[in-house]
Every structure is written in C-alpha cells, then in structure tokens.
Amino acid sequence: MPFRFFFESLGKIFEFTFQILPVLGNNLNYLFMAIIAGLGIYWLREMLKHEKAGEK
C-alpha cells in the first residue's frame, strides 16, 4: 500500500468529518461548555471539602 493511497484516504476521511460539523451547529459547543462547567463545579466542591478537612 503506497503512502499516496494512505494520505488520500486520510484526506477523504477528514473532508467527510468536516462536512458533518455545519449540521451540528453550535449545539456541540454548548454541550462541551456544559460538560466543562459541570466538571469545574465538581472540582471546586471537592477542593472545599479538602479545605474543610484541613488538608492542603
């Protein structure tokens, strides 16, 4: 299998995945923001628990 075939196939896969992105719109961004915000809140709550227990 020559490298040219590999890179052409890889390029077609990238083109296909980028064609999906406009269909998703900003909904995917909102999902990622909600996940990150939720994990940030969880992390801060855990830090407060450790602070109350006297740990650093």
Q: How far apart are CA 7 and CA 29, in angstroms?
A: 29
Model pLDDT, residue 22: 85
Model pLDDT, residue 10: 92
The model's pLDDT over 1-56, given as tens digits with 9 standing for 90+, comes to 688 888 899 999 999 988 888 888 899 899 999 999 999 999 999 999 999 988 76
34 to 11, 27, 38, 53: CA distances (angstroms): 31, 11, 6, 29
Model pLDDT, residue 23: 85
Q: How far apart are CA 21 and CA 25, in angstroms?
A: 7
Model pLDDT, residue 1: 66
